[in-house]
């Protein structure tokens, strides 16, 4: 059996697009090859390294439940089952800002996919926002997101991680109740934001892996998300 890997992660770099409330990314040279050779005295081999100043929510990342719920699980204490497991990708690209993704949209996409939602599934929502606006000033501005009832439908269907190819699972900037995150808090589930290449997974079931860094008391973590499919 041949396996195919699809990279679902955005790059981390200085100047990358960041949700307005979070720390911008800075990357600095820690040591050059020459500086290292001078320090070690080696005449044959030097080591290069850089320093990163990044948000726990930069780029493709998952949220710790503690980000939006006091006294809840931080990213390091959450079971890895939140970030690894069977997944499906639904096509919601027909729903655009200022419209919410509603329950009817999810049910229509599910029917079209010929998939079902199983207990402890990870569900990725392809909205097309990354394809349309990444690397433009509009990427952080206006995008669709889950209504409260739609997010609740996913949670009550057994979903433990909701992923999206946009900066948030909420309709931004209009939904100041942050409906998707509110449901995540109520059901103690997580969400994954700033995914990419979801067009390659539409209507498929696959193995999803998006493991967070083990950041003590972390409110979230950048991840390297991939999908593994049988060819």
The CATH number linked to 118 is 3.50.30.50
Give the count of domains, the chain. Answer: 2
> Do 27 and 107 fall within a single domain?
no
First CA to last CA distance, the chain: 7
> Do 92 and 197 fall within a single domain?
yes
> Do 105 and 41 fall within a single domain?
no
> Do 41 and 143 fall within a single domain?
no
- Alpha-carbon distance of 127 to 143, in angstroms, equals 9
The secondary structure of 96-108 as a DSSP string is: -TTSPB-HHHHHH
The string of pLDDT tens digits covering residues 70-125 is: 999 999 999 999 999 999 999 999 999 999 999 999 999 999 999 999 999 999 99
Q: Is residue 45 part of a domain?
A: yes
Segment 33-57 mean pLDDT:
98
Q: Is residue 17 part of a domain?
A: no
How many residues make up the chain in this entry?
A: 231
The string of pLDDT tens digits covering residues 8-19 is: 999 999 999 999
> Do 94 and 173 fall within a single domain?
yes
- Alpha-carbon distance of 1 to 38, in angstroms, equals 50
Q: How confident is the model at residue 231 (pLDDT cuts 50, 70, 90)?
A: confident
Out of 9, 31, 56, a domain closes at: 56
For residue 36, what are its two tokens?
């290292």
Q: Is residue 2 part of a domain?
A: no
Question: Which residues neighbour 45 within 8 Å (Cβ) at sequence distance 6 or greater?
Answer: 37
Q: Is residue 10 part of a domain?
A: no
Q: Is residue 111 part of a domain?
A: yes
Q: Say if residue 1's pLDDT is above 90.
A: no
CB atoms < 10 A from the CB of 119, how many? 9
> Do 141 and 43 fall within a single domain?
no
> Do 165 and 66 fall within a single domain?
yes
Q: Is residue 40 part of a domain?
A: yes
The secondary structure of 74-138 as a DSSP string is: -GGGS-GGGTEEEEEEEE-TT--TTSPB-HHHHHHHHHHHT----TT-EEEEE-SHHHHHTTSTT
Range of the domain at 147: 61-230
Segment 119-143 mean pLDDT:
97
pTM of the model: 0.96
Q: Say if residue 24's pLDDT is above 90.
A: yes
Q: Pairing relation of β-strands 205-209 and 84-91?
A: antiparallel
Q: How confident is the model at residue 25 (pLDDT cuts 50, 70, 90)?
A: very high
3-state SS class at 180? helix
> Do 106 and 146 fall within a single domain?
yes
> Do 85 and 112 fall within a single domain?
yes
The string of pLDDT tens digits covering residues 154-163 is: 999 999 999 9
Number of H helices, E strands in the chain: 5, 11
- Alpha-carbon distance of 147 to 15, in angstroms, equals 31
Q: How confident is the model at residue 48 (pLDDT cuts 50, 70, 90)?
A: very high
> Do 83 and 116 fall within a single domain?
yes
Contact in structure between 82 and 161 (CB atoms under 8 Å)? yes
Contact in structure between 166 and 19 (CB atoms under 8 Å)? no
Q: Is residue 109 part of a domain?
A: yes
């Amino acid at each position: 059996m041949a396996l195919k890997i699809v990279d679902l992660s955005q790059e981390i770099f200085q100047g990358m697009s960041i949700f307005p409330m979070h720390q911008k990314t800075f990357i600095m040279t820690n040591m050059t090859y020459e500086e290292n050779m001078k320090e070690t005295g080696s005449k044959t081999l030097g080591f290069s390294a850089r320093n990163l100043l990044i948000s726990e929510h930069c780029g493709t990342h998952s949220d710790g439940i503690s980000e939006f719920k006091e006294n809840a699980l931080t990213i390091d204490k959450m079971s890895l089952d939140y970030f690894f497991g069977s997944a499906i990708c639904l096509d919601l690209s027909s729903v655009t800002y200022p419209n919410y993704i509603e329950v009817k949209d999810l049910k229509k996409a599910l029917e079209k996919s010929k998939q079902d939602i199983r207990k402890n599934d990870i569900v990725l929502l392809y909205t097309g926002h990354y394809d349309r606006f990444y690397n433009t000033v509009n990427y952080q501005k206006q995008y669709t997101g889950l209504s409260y009832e739609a997010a609740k439908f996913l949670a009550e269907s057994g979903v433990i991680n909701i992923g999206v190819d946009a900066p948030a699972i909420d309709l931004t900037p209009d939904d100041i109740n942050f409906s998707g995150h509110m449901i995540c808090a109520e059901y103690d589930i997580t969400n994954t934001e700033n995914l990419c290449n979801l067009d390659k997974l539409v209507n498929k079931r696959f193995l999803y892996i998006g493991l967070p860094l083990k950041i003590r008391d972390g409110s979230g973590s950048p991840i390297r998300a991939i999908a593994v499919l049988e060819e």
